[in-house]
Amino acid sequence: MFAPDILQGRVAMITGGAGGIGLDIAKTYGRLGARVVLASRNQDRLDHAAAQLSEEGIDVLAVRADVRNYDEVKAAVESAVTHFGALDILVNNAAGNFYCPTAELSPNGWRTVIDIDLNGTFYGCHAAYKHLKQSPFGGCIISIVTMLGLSGWPGAAHAGAAKAGILSLSRTLAVEWGADNIRVNTISPGPIGDTEGVRRLYQETGREELERKKTALGRFGRKTDIANAATYLASDMAAYITGENMIVDGGRWLKYVAA
Ligand SMILES: NC(=O)c1ccc[n+]([C@@H]2O[C@H](COP(=O)([O-])OP(=O)(O)OC[C@H]3O[C@@H](n4cnc5c(N)ncnc54)[C@H](OP(=O)(O)O)[C@@H]3O)[C@@H](O)[C@H]2O)c1
């Protein structure tokens, strides 16, 4: 549905891009002309994902990086720029989560999720900034959050707090870096049916039907719904959009508030 060259010439780095929603975003960006950089921890998954993209003729670089480590994130950004000559788009997608009532959550479990989601996003933005502000297209940051960050997330206080922090960080950066022509936006997916997260959090716990019914549309989303939103936000079609949180949740948030 997008013009086939809508992202032509851009270089996009996607953290957690070797699987799940991140890989779908990477494939969609690549098919629409971008050169893509995948950054995550597991080398086998990175190699496998990069091979899939290469087979489609997409120019791809896979870089091993743990987003909890600023030096590794910085090195991944520098590798991207050395390899492709620029960085125009950063998608902060990497995340960790596990179900645990807060009273049973260890400080270490709390710290781990905050480290991946919130600190990892800050590290990405910080390391990419000097390159994004040189982008001839205007720099673009998209971070994947969830409306559960705003409503609170019983059973995942760590992830909810981290996502709320990312929303606030993104709005701060949208203002601080607007003069550098960097747009900073977030996407809030609802439950995405074809992901490992939904399988673990909802299907394995017998909550699938309940969670499905919580959406106004009565169904889970697909990875491609999020990739389409991320494409729109990265493209010139969204040139005047910054500091926005695009909710792609089938009306889950609204139904929750209206009920
Ligand atoms: N699935 C949903 O329904 C849903 C709903 C709302 C929001 N979201 C958000 O959407 C994003 C993607 O979700 P998903 O379901 O596709 O997740 P996923 O399948 O669990 O993928 C997460 C990715 O992050 C990477 N990652 C985890 N820890 C990392 C670390 N320390 N450093 C670098 N990379 C790391 C993982 O790769 P390695 O393990 O190899 O590092 C993996 O590729 C997340 O931000 C999630 O919170 C998802």
* Residues whose CB is less than 8 angstroms from the CB of residue 129 and which lie 6 or more positions away in sequence, other chains included: 139, 177, 180, 182
Strand partners, 53: none
The reported pTM is: 0.98
Mean pLDDT of 28-54: 98
Mean pLDDT of 99-124: 98
**CB crowding 98-116: b at 16 or more within 10 Å, else e:** eebeeeebeeeebebbbbb
Q: Which atom of ligand 1 is nearest to the CA of 46?
A: 40
Helix (H, G, I), strand (E, B) or coil at 39: strand
Would you state the pLDDT for residue 220?
Answer: 96
Residue 176, pLDDT > 90, answer yes
Class of residue 117 by CB neighbours under 10 A (exposed 0-12, middle 13-18, buried 19+): buried
Residue 227, pLDDT > 90, answer yes
Q: Cα(53)–Cα(227) distance, rounded to whole angstroms? A: 15
Confidence of residue 10 (pLDDT cuts 50, 70, 90): very high
For ligand 1, mutation pick of 67, 93, 116 (most atoms within 8 Å of CB): 93
Q: Cα(146)–Cα(153) distance, rounded to whole angstroms? A: 10
* Residues whose CB is less than 8 angstroms from the CB of residue 82 and which lie 6 or more positions away in sequence, other chains included: none
Cβ of 121 closer than 6 Å to ligand 1, yes or no, is: no
Cβ of 149 closer than 6 Å to ligand 1, yes or no, is: no
Mean pLDDT of 24-48: 98
Residue 246, pLDDT > 90, answer yes
Angle at CA of residue 9, ends 243 and 132, nearest 5°: 40
Residue 257, pLDDT > 80, answer no
120, 69 contact by CB (below 8 A):
no
CA-nearest residue, atom 11 of ligand 1:
93
CA-nearest residue, atom 41 of ligand 1:
41
Would you state the pLDDT for residue 258?
Answer: 73
> Right CATH number for 11-196+222-248 from 3.40.50.720, 3.30.1330.100, 1.10.630.10, 3.30.70.100?
3.40.50.720
Would you state the pLDDT for residue 205?
Answer: 87
Cβ of 221 closer than 6 Å to ligand 1, yes or no, is: no
Which of 71, 50, 63 is closest to 124 using CA atoms? 71
* Residues whose CB is less than 8 angstroms from the CB of residue 95 and which lie 6 or more positions away in sequence, other chains included: 16, 116, 117, 144, 159, 162
Q: How far is CA 28 from CA 5, 43, 58, 94, 177, in A?
A: 11, 22, 10, 17, 26
Mean pLDDT of 184-194: 97
Would you state the pLDDT for residue 259?
Answer: 65
Q: How far apart are the first and last CA of the chain?
A: 34
Strand partners, 101: none
Distance 195 CA to ligand 1 centre (A): 10
Q: Cα(67)–Cα(39) distance, rounded to whole angstroms? A: 8
> Of all helices (H) and strands (E), which one includes residue 95?
none
Give domain limits for the chain. 11-196+222-248
- Could you identify the residue written with the tokens 């851009």? 10
Mean pLDDT across the chain, nearest whole number?
Answer: 97
pLDDT tens digits for 194-205?
Answer: 999 899 888 888
Q: Cα(174)–Cα(179) distance, rounded to whole angstroms? A: 9
